[in-house]
Homo-oligomer: A and B are copies of this chain.
Amino acid sequence: MYVELKHLRTIRAIQQAGGLARAAEMLNMTQSALSHQVAGLEDQAGMELFVRRSKPMRLSAAGQRMLRAADRILPEIDAMEEEFRALRSGKTGRLHIAIECHACFDWLFPVLELFRHAWPEVDVDIRAGLAFEALPALNREEVDLVISSDRIPPPGIIFNPLFDYHPTFVASAQNPLAARPFITAEDFRDQVLITYPVSRDKLDVFTELLTAAKVEPRAQRTAELTAVILMLVGSNRGVAVLPDWVMREVKSSADYVTRPLGPQVVTKRMYAATREEDATRPFIAHFLRLARSEPVKLQRGA
């Protein structure tokens, strides 16, 4: 038995039109074509789908069963086609974001909150892409946008610059390093360094400072959440290097000191990687605009 949507549409049309001739008109075909089609379908089904005893042909019990399927399925198809139309016109789409940078949650949530209101039809999701390689996933269309620091863009991928930030040293006010105007690699030798639980090539403090200087901190411990890291730092259990925008709550507190990395200030750039063809889509462009303007407000507010 090989059913097609065509058949379901036919069943529904005959039911609605209350007769084969009228239904044929609804479907823009001749009465003859419909008659042939119905005959074929009944052949497939192996039974009569219509009662012909009364003249305007009516659905039989089996036909009514098929109508039930039609009434459930065809609206789903219509809904899907509607979504595709919206997708084509650019009013909707999918924005699944992978972040390689733990601290980015801080500015990403406010940005997404704004985005969500502007593009309610877009399917938004975040995947804390720590477990997998985010950039290849972009190519496979498993995700649509990757938040990442500077890297070499693979072919087909564009790195859209968002904003610059300063990886900033933070310690307890009790820590001896609080006396320094800036912090150098050597200063970490005697410190417990608290970081996110990711590989060193994704941690600014290593890529920008320690790896090049071949300095190993006294110890390293990890915490998942920014708040936890700051708590540990506050109780002088260690020091950390975090992007400047997460410092806004801490700067006003007397318990903490924040210092630039030095001697020359380290500046990094945050990027949103997208597929080449997506970069100009209206809602992606809007997201990029938001992701450029909102985080700097946090940085200023710091």
Q: Is the CB of B5 within 8 A of A58?
A: no
> Is A61 part of the binding interface, using a Cβ–Cβ cutoff of 8 Å?
yes
Q: 6 shortest A-B CB distances, which residue pairs?
A: A61-B94, A69-B80, A46-B88, A60-B141, A51-B141, A1-B81
Q: Is the CB of A141 within 8 A of B83?
A: no
> Is A295 part of the binding interface, using a Cβ–Cβ cutoff of 8 Å?
no
| Cα(A47)–Cα(B96), bound, Å | 19
> Is A260 part of the binding interface, using a Cβ–Cβ cutoff of 8 Å?
no
Chain B residues, Cβ within 8 Å of A76: 69, 72-73
Contact partner, A81, options B3, B60, B73, B94, Cβ 8 Å: B3
Q: Which residue of B lies closest to A93 (CB)?
A: B61
Chain A residues with a Cβ closer than 8 Å to the other chain, count: 38
Q: Is the CB of A1 within 8 A of B65?
A: no
Q: Is the CB of A87 within 8 A of B47?
A: yes
> Is A144 part of the binding interface, using a Cβ–Cβ cutoff of 8 Å?
yes
- Cβ distance A293 to chain B, nearest Cβ, rounded Å: 26
Q: How many copies does the complex hold?
A: 2
Chain B residues, Cβ within 8 Å of A69: 76-77, 80
Q: Which residue of B lies closest to A72 (CB)?
A: B76
Q: Is the CB of B6 within 8 A of A4?
A: yes
Chain B residues, Cβ within 8 Å of A3: 5, 77, 80-81
> Is A62 part of the binding interface, using a Cβ–Cβ cutoff of 8 Å?
yes
- Cβ distance A57 to chain B, nearest Cβ, rounded Å: 11
- Convert A95-107 into 0s and 1s, putting 1 for each residue whose CB lies closer than 8 angstroms to a CB of B: 0100000000000
Contact partner, A83, options B58, B65, B84, B156, Cβ 8 Å: B65
Q: Is the CB of B4 within 8 A of A58?
A: no
> Is A214 part of the binding interface, using a Cβ–Cβ cutoff of 8 Å?
no
Given contacts A61-B144, A62-B84, A80-B66, contact A54 B1 (CB under 8 A): no
